[in-house]
Amino acid sequence: MSRSWKITAFAARPVVEAALVAHEDVIAWDPEMVLSGSEIAEDKPEDWRLEVWLPRKPDRVDKAAVAALFADGAPALTIEELPETDWVTQSQQGLEPIRAGRFHVHTPEHAPLAVAGVRDFVIPASRAFGTGQHATTAGCLAMLTHMKRQGVVVRNLADIGTGTGLLAFAALDLWPQALATASDIDDVCVGVVEENAGLNAVPMGAGSGELVMAVADGMAHPVLQVRGPYDLLIANILAGPLIELAPHFADALVPGGQLLLAGLLETQEQMVRAACRRAGLRLAARLVNGDWSILWLRKRTGVRARSSRPGQLPDWAKHW
């Protein structure tokens, strides 16, 4: 237990959402500064606040880092010292459970669902738990469930930019005999993934039904290369890296392999899809959760692909 501080900025919803997206692209962001964006009240859905928790009194550098997230000038920043508490727990408030597809994801402050046919995952807030990915995480969980019900078979999978490890855990739950690899550019995620794996009884290791963790920038890492090619790649990151990595994803997939992409705004979807088409990847299904697009693509098998509209998700997959 220790003293903690909070920086708050009030702005319109699109401004706060843009700041959250900008934060995901800051390489040198201090991992002790945890962000959250939320509406001020249910009856004011367009009035939002950005909150930043710190385990210390914010200095000039901290305030400048928060202000820099706002492209058109930062709103007024308020700074307050919080009562003596666990600052990580404080930052978790407002992280409501995710219910998507066959999964229920919650922080330790919420109870498991404990319903037959639904897999509960407990994921504590941590340096790798990004609130900006909450909607995209839900979309990926729903899409993975849909892929399984559509008959997709996965023997070898990788989750690129895994963060907490959650999507790799979910994929292993759906395809329990698969080889699984998770990677992230941030080495702090190694400990986070290992801790979360232990909390959720996900075995770490290199064998069937186990998860290997690697620190990697994109696909250029010996572990990712030697364990490929993959039946399924998952990447819930950002539109820019998705566009850049599209040909590398295609190279790492078996013919007919599956690619699940998220972290892109709906306004960025056409650019991402264009990059994927150039790499020989074709859309199988898509869904939109709020402002975020989730895309399921397939690698062409060498036979000329038929032109067809992407499949639509059933109603069960759309409940967030």
pLDDT value, residue 320: 32
Query: What is the domain class of 2-88 according to CATH?
Result: alpha beta
Let me know: does 16 contact 69? Beta carbons within 8 Å.
Answer: no
**Reported confidence tier of residue 226, pLDDT bands at 50, 70, 90:** very high
| Cα(124)–Cα(121) distance, integer angstroms | 10
With pLDDT > 70 as the criterion, what percentage of the chain qualifies? Answer: 85
**273-295 per-position pLDDT tens digit:** 999 999 999 999 998 877 789 99
The mean pLDDT value for 122-130 works out to 64
Does the 98-318 domain belong in CATH 3.40.50.150?
yes
**Reported confidence tier of residue 312, pLDDT bands at 50, 70, 90:** very low
**206-224 per-position pLDDT tens digit:** 999 999 999 998 898 999 9
| Cα(228)–Cα(39) distance, integer angstroms | 42
The mean pLDDT value for 11-23 works out to 87
Domain ranges for the chain, please list them: 2-88, 98-318
| Cα(23)–Cα(308) distance, integer angstroms | 37
Q: 2-88 and 98-318 share one CATH topology?
A: no
pLDDT value, residue 302: 63
Using CA atoms, how far residue 41 sits from 46, 88, 131, 304, in Å, is 9, 23, 18, 52
Count CA atoms within 13 Å of residue 196 on its CB side. 31
